[in-house]
Amino acid sequence: MAEDYQGLALTTDSAKAAASYSDCMRAYLGFQTDVGLHLKATLQADGEMPMALITRGYFFHLFSIPALERKAADSARSAAEAMATRGGTPREKWHLAALQAWNVGDMTGATDLWEQILLHHPHDVMALRLSHFTHFYLTGGAAMRQSARRILGAWEESRADFGFVQGIAAFAHEEAGDYEMAEAYGKRAVEINAKDIWATHAVAHVYEMQGRQDEGIAWLDGLSGNWDDLNNFRFHTWWHKAMYHLEKGQFETVLGLYDGAFWAEPSDEYLDFTNAAAMLWRLEYQGVDVGERWSALADVAEQHSTDAVMAFADAHYMMALAKDGRDEAAAAMLAALSEKAGTSGDQARATADVGLPVCRATLALCKGEAGEAAQILLPLRDHIQRLGGSHAQRDVWAQMICRAALDAGRYEDARGLLAQRTSTKANSPIAWRWYAEALEGCGDSAAAAVARSNA
């Protein structure tokens, strides 16, 4: 029996495997590119180490690609066989059960198991990171913050990777709307480690949500020199910088970041794709000509049109297919999502209730059928969270619903939505312009003039 770097028991006799596994976890916390290499080294040292096999399964899931989902099931089988022979600790057995739950689409069940592990082992960073990943795609910020609050007291400052845990707490508080605490946790983490991109990103979200664009730009510019050897998550952080410039109306800068930083190369990773698609969608709402960029995205989306793994990713793939008129792939995607909707699991339910209708509405919008899109989207206005993702990411659908209502001539609906939007985004010119359009449509020219002047 060995231990990981947090002192948690690992069922292996190989000190080398335990050390490599610790390196793997630390690389995972740091968004480093060598996570997979450390896991490989772990399995080379001990090919039957239960936690290594389970972790391999977990990592396969994180890609959200069908072929790797199947490999996750193989990893769970290997881990179960290894544990049948050599046994396992209660913690490892819970982890195996969590992987098995995830394998059948039961993200809630997996999350419950990770949270149970954390009650007993608050230093299990794998359980912590993964539970926050799934909370993010299930019920969102409040659950993440509660999760963080349960373990923070167990993390003394001198403990290895204390800083990373502050960063995890930062993002959890941000998504729960607790911006002051989020900023404090995030800045503390970055003070400890300027390469902590998750904490950097959490503070970027605070600036985004509070409309502090200039501070956000300075924050990311000041830290971006630390990201060169980090994984693709750095692209998402560049996307956040583009979001500030978008709000400031600096569209050339946004396109420069698109072409040079966060979509410099076509990527197969869903987060990269969602950055790109959602940014093009937003740019077009601002009247920006995005050239041939949808076509390049649609080429990638076609490869994933029948994935149906994550409702959040699917809804972005559909944006590109719909914008570029890839009717055949879009139809195949709707068929795949309908099939997924008839199965069990959290993502199946999210697809059935929200993902599939949102994809249908996206397609309708791109075909000029705003009435149809509004009919689908308006009842979903308060349920988009079910797709998962951050508040900042989901805002693209908040915009889509407003625009669909306006284009469908449903001005009272649009007026209500935009009254909400201008009250939370008082610095957003586009929100005021659209509000003016809604007010005009409702026959209230005086109020429309005020909204236009605010814009």
Where along the sequence are the contacts to Fe ion (CB under 5 A)? 390
Q: Which is nearer to Fe ion, 200 or 347 (CB)?
A: 200
In the complex, minimum distance from the CB of residue 347 to Fe ion, in angstroms, rounded to a whole number: 20
In the complex, minimum distance from the CB of residue 202 to Fe ion, in angstroms, rounded to a whole number: 8
Considering only CA atoms, give the Rg of the chain: 23
In the complex, minimum distance from the CB of residue 250 to Fe ion, in angstroms, rounded to a whole number: 19
Alpha carbons 6 and 193: distance in angstroms, whole number: 19
Alpha carbons 167 and 149: distance in angstroms, whole number: 13
Q: Distance between alpha carbon 8 and the CA centroid of its chain, in Å? A: 29
In the complex, minimum distance from the CB of residue 240 to Fe ion, in angstroms, rounded to a whole number: 6
Q: Which is nearer to Fe ion, 234 or 304 (CB)?
A: 234
Residue 393, H or E segment? helix 391-407
Which residues make Cβ contacts (< 8 Å) with residue 431, sequence separation at least 6?
418, 421, 422, 425
Q: Which is nearer to Fe ion, 207 or 435 (CB)?
A: 207
Q: Which is nearer to Fe ion, 348 or 398 (CB)?
A: 398
In the complex, minimum distance from the CB of residue 343 to Fe ion, in angstroms, rounded to a whole number: 29
Structure tokens that stand for 39 in this block: 């896991």
In the complex, minimum distance from the CB of residue 236 to Fe ion, in angstroms, rounded to a whole number: 6
Q: Which is nearer to Fe ion, 54 or 242 (CB)?
A: 242
Q: Which is nearer to Fe ion, 79 or 138 (CB)?
A: 138
Alpha carbons 281 and 292: distance in angstroms, whole number: 13
In the complex, minimum distance from the CB of residue 392 to Fe ion, in angstroms, rounded to a whole number: 6
In the complex, minimum distance from the CB of residue 200 to Fe ion, in angstroms, rounded to a whole number: 11
In the complex, minimum distance from the CB of residue 45 to Fe ion, in angstroms, rounded to a whole number: 36
Sign of CA dihedral 294, 266, 232, 226: negative
- Nearest residue to the partner Fe ion, using Cβ: 390
Which residues make Cβ contacts (< 8 Å) with residue 168, sequence separation at least 6?
128, 129, 132, 148, 198
Q: What dihedral angle (degrees, nearest 10) is formed by the CA atoms of 444, 449, 454, 455?
A: 100
Q: Which is nearer to Fe ion, 279 or 373 (CB)?
A: 279
Q: Which is nearer to Fe ion, 114 or 238 (CB)?
A: 238
Which residues make Cβ contacts (< 8 Å) with residue 445, sequence separation at least 6?
439
Structure tokens that stand for 13 in this block: 């006799």
In 268-402, which ranges are E strands?
none
For residues 273 and 267, is the Cβ–Cβ distance under 8 A? Answer: yes
Measured CA distances, 371 to 362, 431, 433, 442 (Å): 12, 21, 21, 17
Beta bridge partners of 3: 9
Q: Which is nearer to Fe ion, 58 or 262 (CB)?
A: 262
Judged by DSSP in three states, 90 sits in helix
